[in-house]
Structure 1
Amino acid sequence: MKPLSAIDNIFLLMEQRQQPLHVGALCLFTPPPDAPPDFALQLAERLRQSAQAAAPFNRRLVSRAGFKFWDESGDFDLAQHFVHLALPKPGRVRELLAMVSRVHAAHLDRAYPLWRIYLIEGLDDGRIALYSKIHHALVDGVAGIRLLMKSMAPDAETSITMPAPWEVRTRRTRERRLPVPTPSLRGVNALRALAQQGLDGVTPVFQQFRQVRRDQRAGREDCIGSLQAPRSILNNNISGSRRFAAQSYETPRIKAIARRFDATVNDVVLAMCGGALRRYLGELNALPDAPLVAAVPVSTRRDDGDSGNEVAFALTHLGTHIACPEARLLAVKACMDYNKQVLRALNPSQLMAYEGLMFAPGVFNLLTGFSRTKTIVNVVISHVPGPRTETYWQGCKLDGVYPVSLLVNNIALNITLVSRHDFIDFGLIGCRKTLPSLQRLLDYLGESLDELEAGGAPVVPAVKAKARQASKAPA
């Protein structure tokens, strides 16, 4: 048995009835052309032959003398973790997303290892789906996507020989964090690392902090603080119900816009989200006058390693106060450029300390409710790298990887994306009670992309025509 780390314990203690802390992903697959009508049933029976689970899938919570431990046991009940389901007719993507919304809202049973995988058939177009969820105390969202990818292969024949997803072993990341701004969870590590660096490590942190504060007092619109986000319906307390929405958009469309504006793909994605939220909240008569602020995880890795989770949170406004799509994109780009300049000036341990200083006012307000008009952030928008080539699982072609993230109180919407070779897959998870008709955001994301395309030089017609069809078809 292995004692839980402090961060594992915090993840478990933070969990509440309306706030389950597991992350998930929905994968869509096209079966092989010669697949029989009972292909999904045969696949389920083949996967049930697996009798072992690798770490972290074999870790079960146990308590001894008031302390919690991970107990790695090879004896596990596969029927508790692997479920084969069929969609109700007519089997549209709408029914699939409704099913994922319901099962994602349910807590994982702590008497068993904290994960579950659903194989879902019955889609009207013949595709099958795989929805998986795993507790954040075991792995973070990025590691969870990597785990799924390790059970897949670049060709159909090899993919049939790959192990079941729960047999894939992964290395435990050096540092894990919630996909929401929680800098206090890293404060001790930051102070310890800075103490080892001495004065040379501390000085750049305070110099950068003072410079940012000067820029904020000067009214720079591209410098966003942690007590600048206006309160909105996105910042109400959440219920236990969830609404999941998913959509794919072609990468060439977004890259073409990025080249026109000398921006990044992430800049364009953030501007799309800003345009969609502007219209969504506007129709609800709930759009604040001040721009919405997003927390955006940004990689701070200095090497090509694949372990660890070296990420800092950047704050950017989404230009929701700007009607012109092009001006909105340029404003978002300016914010992200400012953030990148700060990130490059500090090493990872200095960034942890700087992040703690920057988020301190927002965290204090979140705990005390000192300001009723401002909050720490309005929404979290994450971008996760996915497979760069065509990918197969058990002979089926991967058609989409849609992240299903988590929510915490006062942040009722999370938008997470996975970049594949030709598509960017959006996964939106929101509080069903707080955010009515969340699926409308998918239409508004597509319209925002159309507006950005129309605002500049035309995209190659063949790509544009194909892209418009893809953006209007669910998932």
Structure 2
Amino acid sequence: MKPLSLIDSAFLMLEQRQQPLHVGALCLFAPPEGAPEDFAYQLAERLRSSGQAVPPFNRRLITRAGVNFWEEAEDFDIAQHFVHLALPKPGRMRELLAMISRVHAAHLDRAYPLWRMYLIEGLEDGRIALYSKIHHALVDGVAGIRLLMKTMDADPERSLAIPAPWEAYTKRGGKRSLPVPSPALRSVDALRSLAREGVANVAPIFRRLAETRRDYRDGNPDCVGGLQAPVSMFNQRITGSRRFAAQSYSTARIKAIATAFDATSNDVVLAMCGSALRKYLLENEALPADPLVAAVPVSTRKDDGTSGNEVAFALTHLGTHLADPAKRLRAIKGCMDYNKRALRSLSATQLLTYEGMLFAPGAVSLFTGLQRQRTIVNVVISHVPGPREDLYWQGCRLEGLYPVSVVIHRIALNITLISRNESIDFGLIGCRKTVPHLQRLLEYLEEAIEELEATLPDAKPAPKRRARTVEKTAEGSLAE
């Protein structure tokens, strides 16, 4: 038996009926050319015949004297984890996303290893889907995506020889992180490390804190404090229902905008999100006067290494107070550049301590709801690097990789995206009650790209868009 770490245990303790803490992914695949009509059935039977599982897929939670442990299950039963489903007709993307919304809202049974996988057929265009979910106490979102990619190959023939996903081992290296900034937990190890390293390593932290507070006090628009976000409609308690929306956007389009503004693709993505959220809140007559604030994971790696996760949470405003798309992008770029300079001036240990001290007041507000006017963040936006080449799974070509993340009380919306070779796949998850008609954000994201493209020197007038209708934005719809 292996005891759970502090953070792994926290995922289990924080889980509530309205707040399941598993992460997931939806993959879309094109079957091989000439595949028989019962291809999905044959694939399901082949996968179901694989009754062996390796860590973390065979780890079952047990509790002894109030302490949680992982135990490797000897009676692993694939029937509890692998499900073959068919969409109801007509099998549009809206039916698929409505199904994912429902199954992602359901808790995983703690009597079994904490994961489940669904092979879904019945899409009208002939594609198949694979939706998987696994508890955050077992792997984080990035590790989960990497685990999925381990079961794929650039060669369709070689991909047929790769075992079922639950037989693919993943090494859990590097530091874990909660889905939102959590100073109390993230700083424990950092404080221990600082104690070992000596007092001299504390000085840069207080210097950085003083500079941040001075910039905030002086009104530096690029500096975002730990209790600066206005309370919005996204900062309410959530219910157990979920709404999932997904869409792919061209990498080339986003890079062209980034180049024109001397920005990064991530800056452009944040500007798209800021524009979409501004329009959504205006539509709901709920736009705060001050800009929304997002928690954005930022790499702080100073070398080209691949081991570990050198990541910190940066707080950036999303320019929702600005109507002009170009000004919004420049403002977000300035804020992200400020964050990167600040974060890279500290070591990994110093950075975690700095985060804990900076975010503590906002975290107290977030988890208690005592502060009614300000909070730490309004939304979490994560950008995960994905495969840079075409991949195949069991002979099927990967055509979409959409993350399905978590939402928690008082952060009712999460936007996670994965960069692939030709597209950036967005996955939006939100509380169905707190964030009504979430799928409209997909249309607003597309409009955001068009608005930014219209600011480019060689821009051509965009074709007129049809007026939005209720049918066009029905539950779970995917822009096509």
**Who is 1:18 aligned against?**
18
User: 1:195 Cα deviation (Å)?
Assistant: 1.5
Residues 360-382 of structure 1, C-alpha deviations (whole Å, 9 max, x = no match): 11023234544311111000000
User: Is structure 2 residue 60 aligned with structure 1 residue 60?
Assistant: yes
Report if the CA contact (8 A) 1:256-1:459 is conserved: no
In the aligned structure 2, how far is the partner of 1:197 from the partner of 1:71?
35
Supply the distance in 2 between the matched residues of 1:62 and 1:369 (Cα, whole angstroms). 32
CA contact (8 A) 2:443 2:479 kept: no
In 1, Cα distance between the equivalents of 2:292 and 2:255? Answer: 24
Secondary structure of 2:234's counterpart equals helix
Q: Tell me, in whole angstroms, the C-alpha distance in 2 between the residues paired with 1:355 and 1:394.
A: 43
Mean Cα displacement is larger for which, 238-247 or 309-318?
309-318
Contact residue 246 and residue 478 of structure 2 kept, 8 A: no
* Equivalent-residue separation in structure 1 for 2:347 and 2:201 (angstroms): 9
Q: Distance in 1 between the 2:66 and 2:215 partners?
A: 49
Q: Is the 8 A contact 1:52 1:74 kept in 2?
A: no
**Are the equivalent residues in 2 in contact too, given 1:114–1:134 (CA < 8 A)?**
yes
Deviations 1:231-250 (A, max 9, x none): 11010100000000000001
Cα distance in 2 for residues equivalent to 1:364 and 1:59? 33
Query: Residues of 2 paired with 1:66 and 1:365: CA distance?
Result: 29
**Secondary structure at the counterpart of residue 235 of structure 1:** coil
Q: Distance in 1 between matches of 2:42 and 2:178?
A: 37
The corresponding residue for 2:467 is: none
- More displaced stretch, 184-193 vs 16-25: 184-193
CA distance in 2, matches of 1:152, 1:201: 44
Identical counterparts, % of pairs = 69
Structure 2 partner of 1:223: 223
Aligned to 1:188: 188
Helix, strand or coil: the match of 2:20?
Answer: coil
1:374 aligned partner: 374
The structural deviation recorded for 1:474 is 3.0
What is the rounded CA distance, in whole Å, between the counterparts of 2:158 and 2:74 in structure 1?
A: 26
Q: Deviations over 1:208-240 (max 9, x none)?
A: 110010000000111001111011101010000
2 CA distance for matches of 1:149 and 1:361? Answer: 38
Report how many residues are paired: 467
Partners of 2:3 and 2:96 lie apart in 1 by: 38
Matching of residue 342 in structure 1 with residue 347 in structure 2? no
Name the CA distance, whole Å, in 2 between partners of 1:221 and 1:400: 37
Under a length normalisation based on structure 2, what TM-score does the superposition of the two structures give? 0.95
Q: Which residue of 2 aligns with 1:469?
A: none
Q: Which runs of 4+ in 1 moved over 4 A?
A: none
Cα separation, 1, equivalents of 2:227 and 2:101: 31
Partner of 1:80: 80
| 1:241 partnered with 2:246 | no
2:296–2:380 contact (8 Å) kept in structure 1: yes
SS at match of 1:176: coil
State the partner residue of 2:466. Answer: none
Partner of 2:358: 358
Question: Which residue matches 2:273?
Answer: 273
Match of 1:200, SS state, is helix
Q: Deviations over 1:377-422 (max 9, x none)?
A: 0000000010000010000000010000001100000000000011
Which segment drifts farther, 292-301 or 109-118? 292-301
Residues 401-420 of structure 1 mapped to structure 2, 5 A cutoff: 401-420=401-420
**1:132 deviation in Å?**
0.3
Q: Is the 8 A contact 1:171 1:307 kept in 2?
A: no
Q: Which residue of 1 aligns with 2:327?
A: 327
Query: How far 1:173 sits from its partner (Å)?
Result: 2.6
Paired amino acid for 2:181: P
TM-score by length of 1: 0.96
> Where do 1:29-178 residues align within 5 Å?
29-178=29-178
Structure 1 residue aligned with 2:286: 286
CA distance in 2, matches of 1:275, 1:414: 16
Contact 2:181/2:363 (<8 A) preserved:
no
> Aligned partners of 1:308 and 1:159: how far apart in 2?
27
- Structure 2: runs of 5+ lacking an equivalent: 464-476
SS in 1 for 2:336: helix
State the Cα RMSD in Å.
1.6
Other-structure match for 1:468: none
Larger mean CA deviation between 427-436 and 3-12 belongs to 3-12
Q: Distance in 1 between matches of 2:187 and 2:139?
A: 20
CA 1:173–1:460: 2 relative to 1, 3 Å: farther
Paired with 2:356 and 2:342, the residues of 1 have a C-alpha distance of 14
